Chains A and B, each alone.
Chain A
């Protein structure tokens, strides 16, 4: 990467890479330092971190039992029907 992000604009353009762990240590340190002095960028980073966290929580939420049950029943019906036909 070129020069580490220092201004608010540069931090904003690198923020997704920062959250996804795609930036090198120098760039991450620069963003951390900037956020210590810039309350609005710090709030943005924290807000986006919470947003990503909320999405990832949804990823681990199991589907409703009724939906899983319906899916399993459809699968068994299909496989039983195919088994009889072959």
Chain B
């Protein structure tokens, strides 16, 4: 399916959802979360953020559909929203305290030691799901690209956005998208030879 076809399909779902079609709204919201999941993992490379970014995409898409004036612009809006959610998530993490609590020792409080639950075991399950999803060599090679190149190559080659839409999401010119895509392909090829 071409980029224009996918865009038109999104626009159709948005229009139907805006008129109260629950099935269309469900399909749109599931898709929004799938985009958020793929973007979190492949562009941002942080599986631990995926859940929050998916939730953000769900709520924002639901709110946006009611006020949308340009259904054709929805797909670009969705990727911009997911990209911003990933960036915000990272900024918040940078601000988090750097002293971690020892799982073995727990936290010392005035009322004694409080033991800490080990991280959600579903995280490990998530990692296994990811491992079985996209070719491991490609994931490793993508990880080694500079982030701005990785975003372009994922949106263009994997998500299938047009050069114009990628430019709108990334906030750069179409010529810049083409240049970065060209360099990213050359880098990816080199990385794939070594993984």
Check if B132 is an interface residue, CB within 8 A of chain A: yes
Interface positions, chain A 53-75, Cβ under 8 Å from B, are: 54-59, 61, 63-64, 66-68, 70-72, 74-75
Chain A interface mostly helix, strand, loop or mixed?
helix
Give the contacts of A7-27 with B (CB-CB under 8 A). 15-16, 19
B46 CB-CB contact with A under 8 Å: no
Q: In the complex, what distance in Å separates the CA atom of A11 from the CA atom of B185?
A: 15
- Asked if B138 is at the interface (CB within 8 A of a chain A CB), the reply is yes
**Cross-chain contact of A71 among B34, B62, B137, B158 (Cβ < 8 A):** B34
- Cross-chain pair count, CB within 8 angstroms: 89
A15 to B185, CA, bound (A): 10
Residue tally, chain B, CB below 8 Å to A:
38
Q: How far is the CB of B185 from chain A (nearest CB, A)?
A: 6
- Cα of A67 to Cα of B182 in the assembled complex, Å: 32
B interface secondary structure, majority? helix
Instruction: Using A54-B138, A58-B134, A64-B132 as known contacts, say yes or no to A75 and B189 having CB atoms under 8 A apart.
Output: no
- The CA of A46 and the CA of B186, in the complex, are separated in Å by 12
CB–CB B25/A51 < 8 A: no
- Partner-B contacts on A (CB < 8 A): 15-16, 19, 44, 47-48, 50-52, 54-59, 61, 63-64, 66-68, 70-72, 74-76, 78-79, 82
